[in-house]
Amino acid sequence: MSKENLNDFYEMNRFNRKLRERVDAYEPELSDSLWDRIEHDLNHREGKSKRVLWLVYVLSGMLLLSSAGIFYLLKENKKLADASQVNPTAPDTEKPAMTLTIPEVEIRRDAGSAPESTTPASQGNPVSPESTNADYPALGGAPGNIPPATPSHETYENLIPNPSSPQENPSGISPEYTNPQPRLLEGSELLIPQEIILTEGEEAELPSGIRAKKIQPIATAGVQPASWPLKEVYRGRMGVNPRVMPYAGVSVEAGSSRQLLSNSDSLHRFGFEHPAWYSSKGLNFGVKFRNGFFVETGFHSSVTAVNNWWDTVFFKRYDTVPVLQATRNIVPGNHHNQSKQYWLDIPVQLGYQKYLSSRFSLTGRTGLTYSMINTYNGVEPDIFLRRFASAGTWNPKPFRNFWTWNLGAGIGYNLTRRLMLNLEANYRRGLTTMNNVNEINYPNRKLEAISGRLGITYSLY
Amino acid sequence: MTNLSDIELIKGCQEQQRFYQKKFYERFAKKMLAVCLCYTRDTYEAENIVQEGFIKIFENIKRYQPTGSLEGWVRRIMVNTATDYYRKKKRIKFSEVKLEDAEYMIGAMDIDRFATRDIIACIQELPEGSRMVFTLYAIEGYTHKEIGEALDISVGTSKSQLNRARMLLQEKLKRNEQRESQRFL
C-alpha cells in the first residue's frame, strides 16, 4: 500500500469513527404516536396469542372428547359383534350370508313349551357354549354349557315357566338357564345361512332357535335387488349392524350473506348492509346412529365478501349505504368491493337422515356454529363518510367472535356403502353480534346467510 | 423508579409488563431512531422500522443472554430489522458503478463542520443500495463479506456501492456546505 493510499485509509477510518460517534450521540425527536403504535401492536399480538392458546385448549378438548366417544362407540360395536357370533360355523364374512337385525328376540330353553317349533330337535342348538353364555347373557346369563333344547319362538310372556315346578319344566333344564328377561339381543344382529332370505319385516327362526325379524338397516331400506352394491351396507366391518357409525367428510358452502344492524342510524343504514357472497369450506366429523340421527362437528373456513349491491337473500336491490353517493365521489368505482371477512368456524350440528330407498335419503340439520379468529380486509368510510381508508384505520379491531345457528335440509345419495353425497340448502343467522365496538359507523351487526351446501362423507365403519 | 437498571428492565419486559416496556422504549427509542434514520429515506420509514424492531425485541427478550451490552443487542436487532425491511419489502436496486469513477476524498472532509442532522439528511438522499452499504460499513463497522451476507449481494457489489456512496455523499456535503455559506453571505 502506497503512502497516499495509506493516508486515505486512515482518513477514512477517522471519518467513519467520527460519523459513528455523531450518530450515536444524535437523539432526534420521536413522534408522539410511536409508543401508542407499538403498544397497540403488542396488545394485538398478545390478544392473538391468547386466542390461539384458547383455541388450542378447545381443540384439544374436542379431540379428547371425540376420541373417547368414538372409542366407546366402537367398543359398543365390538360388543355387538361378539354377541352376534352365536353360530361358530357362521359363513365367512367375505362371502357373507344375509345379515339380519333382530329388534326383539324371545328365547326359552324349555322344549316342552314349544308347540309351534319348526326346528327339529335333532338339529340341536348350534350355539357354541364357549362363545355364548359369558358374552351373551340373554341366553341364560350363566357361564358354561347350554344344554341342547328345542327352542321356542313363542312370546316370552306366554311361555315363561315356573322353574321351580318340575311339571312345567319337563326338559329338566336347570332354572338358572331360564332368563327372566331374555331380551338382551335387542338391536343386535345375527348371521344366518344364505338359504334363509328375508324381506323387510319378515320373520324367521334361526337354527339356533332364536326368532328373528328383519328390520330396516342403518343405511338402507326397502327390498334390495340381489346385485345391489349396498346389500352389505349395514354389515359393518365386523359383520354387525353397528349402533353407531363414525364418519368423516368435507363440505363446501356458497351463498349470499348480509349483516343485520340492530341500532343503525337510519340516515346511514337501512337496518342491514353488506350484501355479500358467503362461502365456507371445511372438514366434518360425526357419528350416525341407527335411528337416523347424527351428530357432527368440524372446522370450517368461512369468508364473506362484498362484491355487489344485490341482496340475494330476499332478491331485492338495496343501496345499503345511502351515502355511497358521497363516497363514490371520493373513490369512484371502488365501493366496498374489497371488503372481506374471514372466520374459522366450529359447527356443532344435530341432524336426521331418512332413507327413502337404498341410495336416496332426506337429511335435515340444525345446530350452532362458533366463528372466530377473524380478519378483516378492505376499506371503510371514515366516521364522517368523507373518505375511504384501510380497514382498521379508525377502528383497529372492528369484529369479534360470534355464534350463529343454522337450519338446513336436503338430500343424500349413497355412491357406495361408505361414500355419500349430500346436497342441502342452509339458512344461517347470528345469535350474537359480530362487531367489537358499537359506534355509528360500526353498529351492532349480526350475520345472516342463505347458502347451498355440498358435502361428501365417508363412513369409517 | 426513574433509573431502572438493565436487569430490572429486562425482567419487567420478560414479564410483559407495559410499564417496563415503555421505560425500555424511552431509554433506547431515540438512539435507535437515529440509527434507523441512516437506513431509510425519511423519518416515517425510520419510525416504522423502530416500531417493528421494538416489537421484535419485546417478543424475543426472553431469549436475551446478558453476555454483551443491552444497547448493542437492541441495536443489532434494529439493524437486522432495517436490512430485512429493505431486502424483503423494498427489493433494493444496486446501480452499476465503475470503480475507476469512484474518485473520492471524503475521508479528508472535516465532518465537524456539519450538523449531525445535515449529515444524516445527506445519507438519506443516497440511492437505496449505496445507503445501506455505506451505513453498514461506515456506521456499523461491518466488513464487505458481512454486508454481502446481510444484503444478499457479492463482496464486489458491496465495495462498488460503498465507493459510489462516498462519492455521492462528498458531493452532497459540499453542496450543502456551499448552500449554508451562501445563506450567511
| Confidence at A443, pLDDT banded by 50, 70, 90 | low
Q: Are A196 and A181 in contact (CB under 8 A)?
A: no
**pLDDT confidence of residue A331:** 36
Looking at residue A137, what is its pLDDT? 40
pLDDT tens for B71-80 read 899 999 999 9
- Which residues in A lie closer than 8 A to residue B51 (C-beta atoms)? 34, 37-38, 41
Res A7: pLDDT? 65
pLDDT band at A8; cut points 50, 70, 90? low
- State residue A332 phi and psi, 5-degree precision: -60, 130
Write out the E strands in A54-197. 99-102, 188-191
Is the pLDDT reported for residue A127 higher than 50? Answer: no
Q: What is the pLDDT of residue A5?
A: 62
> Residue B44: which of A161, A362, A28 has the closest Cα?
A28
Supply the pLDDT for residue A84: 58
Cβ atoms A422, A284 nearer than 8 A: no
Average pLDDT on A271-284 reads: 76
Which tops the pLDDT comparison, A390 or A385?
A390
Distance, in angstroms, between B81 CA and closest chain A CA? 15
Confidence label for A50 from pLDDT (cuts 50, 70 and 90)? confident
Q: Which of B31, B37, B139 sits opposite A19 (nearest CB)?
A: B139
* Candidate ranges A119-128, A389-398, B138-147; pick with highest mean pLDDT: B138-147
Give the C-alpha separation, A117 to A111, whole Å: 9
For A26, which of B25, B34, B55 is closest by C-beta distance?
A: B34
Q: Hey, are the CB atoms on B51 and A22 less than 8 Å from each other?
A: no
Q: CB of A230 within 8 A of CB of A418? A: no
Q: What are phi and psi of A302, to 5 degrees?
A: -120, 150
B-chain CB neighbours of A21 within 8 Å are: none
By CA distance, what is B137's nearest residue in A? A16
| Contact flag B30-A19 (C-beta cutoff 8 Å) | no
DSSP B113: G
Using alpha carbons only, give the angle B6, B12, B13 rounded to the nearest 5 degrees.
90
> Does B138 contact A19 at a Cβ distance shorter than 8 Å?
yes
Q: Which three cell numbers stand for residue A71?
A: 372409542
Q: Is B121 on the interface with A (CB under 8 A)?
A: no
**Tens-digit pLDDT profile for residues B132-157:** 899 999 888 899 999 988 888 888 88
pLDDT at A311: 35
Specify the range with the lowest mean pLDDT, choosing from A206-210, B125-129, B173-177.
Answer: A206-210
Mean predicted lDDT score pLDDT of chain B:
82
B4 close contact with A: CB closer than 8 A: no
Distance separating alpha carbons of residues A9 and B125, to the nearest angstrom: 25
Given A10, A14, A28, which is nearest B37 (Cβ)? A28
Distance (Å) from the alpha carbon of A42 to chain B's nearest alpha carbon: 7
User: How much of chain A exceeds pLDDT 70, in percent?
Assistant: 45
CB-count burial class (<10 Å; 0-12, 13-18, 19+) for A439:
exposed
**Chain B touched by A34 (CB under 8 Å):** yes
Q: Chain B within 8 Å of A32 (Cβ-Cβ)?
A: no
Show Cβ contacts of residue A456 under 8 Å, excluding neighbours closer than 6 positions.
A249, A250, A251, A419, A420, A421, A422
Q: C-alpha distances in angstroms, B161 versus A20, A307, B132?
A: 19, 48, 9
| Residue B125: pLDDT over 50 | yes
Per-residue model confidence (pLDDT) at position A174: 42
DSSP structural state of residue A348: E
Residue A397: what pLDDT?
65
What secondary structure letter does DSSP report for A138?
A: G
> What ipTM score was computed for the predicted complex, to two decimals?
0.84
A232 min Cα distance to partner chain B (Å): 58
Decide if B34 and A23 are in contact by the 8 Å CB cutoff: yes
**What pLDDT score does A312 carry?**
36
Contact by Cβ (8 Å): A426, A406 = yes
- Global pTM reads 0.44
Query: Who contacts A198 (Cβ-Cβ below 8 Å, separation ≥6)?
Result: A98, A100, A204, A212, A214
Distance from CA of A337 to the nearest CA of B (A): 26
Nearest to A191 by CA among A141, A154, A234, A223: A234
E-assigned strands of A170-329? 188-191, 203-205, 211-213, 244-261, 272-289, 293-305, 310-311, 316-317
Which of A214-223, A419-428, B68-77 shows the highest mean pLDDT? A419-428
Chain A residues whose CB is inside 8 A of the B138 CB are 15-16, 19-20
Residue A205: which region, alpha, beta or left (left: phi > 0; alpha: psi -120 to 50)? beta
Considering only CA atoms, which of B157, B90, B101, B163 is closest in space to residue B128?
Answer: B90
The residues with which A426 forms a beta bridge, in sequence order, are A408, A451
> Within 13 A of A262's CA, how many CA atoms are on the CB side?
12
Backbone angles phi, psi at B125, to 5 degrees: -80, -10
- CB contact A31 to B (< 8 Å): yes
Nearest 5 degrees, angle CA A277-CA A278-CA A282? 150
pLDDT tops 90 at residue A363 = yes
**In angstroms, what separates the C-alpha of A50 from chain B's closest C-alpha?**
13
